[in-house]
Amino acid sequence: MMMRVEFDEPKCVAAGQCAMVAPDVFDQRDDDGVAIVLEETPGPEHHDQVREAAAVCPAAAIRLVQQ
C-alpha cells in the first residue's frame, strides 16, 4: 500500500518533531524552522516513522493518505 503525505504549512509551528522522528521524510527550513516534506510518497520502510511524525505533530499539520 502506498502512502502520501499532505502537509498544511500555515499550521506548522516549527516544533521540529516530524524531522526528529522521520528525518528521511521531513526537514526544517533554516530561516524559520517550518517543516518541509522531502518525500511526499515515502517507501514502506518509512511508514511507521511517518505515522509517528503525524501523531506527534503539535499543530496537526501532517495528514496521511493511504493510496
Check if the beta carbon of residue 16 is closer than 8 Å to that of residue 32. no
Q: Structural domains in the chain?
A: 3-66 (3.30.70.20)
Cell of 30: 533554516
pTM of the model: 0.94
Residue 28 near residue 42, CB atoms below 8 Å: no
Predicted confidence at residue 43, as pLDDT, reads 97
* Cell 506548522 -> residue: 12
Per-residue pLDDT tens digits of the chain, which is 67 residues long: 899 999 999 999 999 999 999 999 999 999 999 999 999 999 999 999 999 999 999 999 999 999 8
Identity of residue 14: A
Report yes or no: 57 and 15 within 8 Å, Cβ to Cβ.
yes
* Angle 46-28-55 from CA coordinates, rounded to 5°: 50
